[in-house]
């Protein structure tokens, strides 16, 4: 990478030369680069991009920090409210092959609880409908809801992102607020 040395201070040059990175917030207009919001949010999963593109109609959406204290795919903010969203389309492992075990969903629930405790905002976990078959998760759903951690079940088929976004908005906002958000979206 070629960088003019007069742009960076001495410490920044040292970090750059020694392979150290520095946190930066960058703003850009995706359309000027031929990108959609879906492209921007789909860096880890196309599902992140699909839901991000739907939610951006109603507020601000950012990618979550995968290396920080809070693990989330998306951060959604609107009308002075914010939430963290974790998405996984993995299906449960019943008899082997290509799926994940319950303890991996439990790990996501741990991070959701941690998010709730540290940030005191609602947390959403969007997961495959097949997880409804797991009794332990059905049993925990009300406890989680009581602590403002919400499980959104979806089959990830056509327009899944619209129904997931609708469920998230319905939990976060009153009917009047949703109406105002939809009106502003037109």
- CATH number, position 126: 3.40.1350
Read off the pLDDT of residues 22-55 as tens digits, 9 standing for 90 and up. 556 677 777 787 777 667 666 667 888 899 989 9
Read off the pLDDT of residues 83-101 as tens digits, 9 standing for 90 and up. 999 998 887 876 555 556 7
Task: Judge whether 137 lies within some domain.
Answer: yes
Q: pTM of the prediction?
A: 0.75
* Greater model confidence, 13 or 174: 174
Task: Judge whether 73 lies within some domain.
Answer: yes
Residue in this structure with the two tokens 């540290």, named with its chain if needed: 118
Q: Nearest 10 degrees: CA dihedral of 94, 137, 45, 65?
A: -140
pLDDT at position 62 over 80: yes
| Domains: count for the chain | 1
Read off the pLDDT of residues 97-118 as tens digits, 9 standing for 90 and up. 555 678 888 888 998 888 888 8
Angle at 45 between CA 128 and CA 111, to 5 degrees: 65
pLDDT at 2: 47
Task: Judge whether 4 lies within some domain.
Answer: no
Task: Judge whether 106 lies within some domain.
Answer: yes
Quote the domain boundaries for residue 108.
36-185
């Amino acid at each position: 990478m070629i960088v003019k040395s007069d742009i960076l201070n001495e410490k920044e040059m040292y970090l750059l030369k020694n392979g150290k990175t520095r946190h930066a917030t960058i703003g850009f207009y995706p359309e000027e680069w031929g990108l959609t919001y879906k492209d921007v949010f789909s860096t880890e999963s196309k599902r992140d991009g699909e839901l991000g593109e739907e939610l951006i109609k109603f507020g601000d959406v950012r990618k979550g920090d995968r290396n920080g204290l809070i693990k989330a795919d998306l951060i959604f903010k609107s009308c002075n409210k914010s939430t963290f969203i974790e998405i996984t389309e993995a299906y449960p492992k019943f008899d082997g092959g290509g799926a994940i075990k319950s303890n991996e969903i439990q790990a996501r629930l741990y991070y959701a609880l941690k998010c709730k405790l540290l940030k005191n905002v609602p947390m959403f976990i969007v997961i495959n409908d097949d997880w409804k078959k797991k009794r332990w998760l059905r049993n925990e759903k009300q406890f989680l809801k009581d602590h403002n951690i919400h499980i959104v079940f979806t089959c990830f088929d056509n327009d899944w992102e619209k129904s997931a976004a609708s469920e998230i908005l319905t939990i976060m906002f009153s009917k009047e607020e949703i109406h105002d958000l939809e009106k502003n979206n037109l």
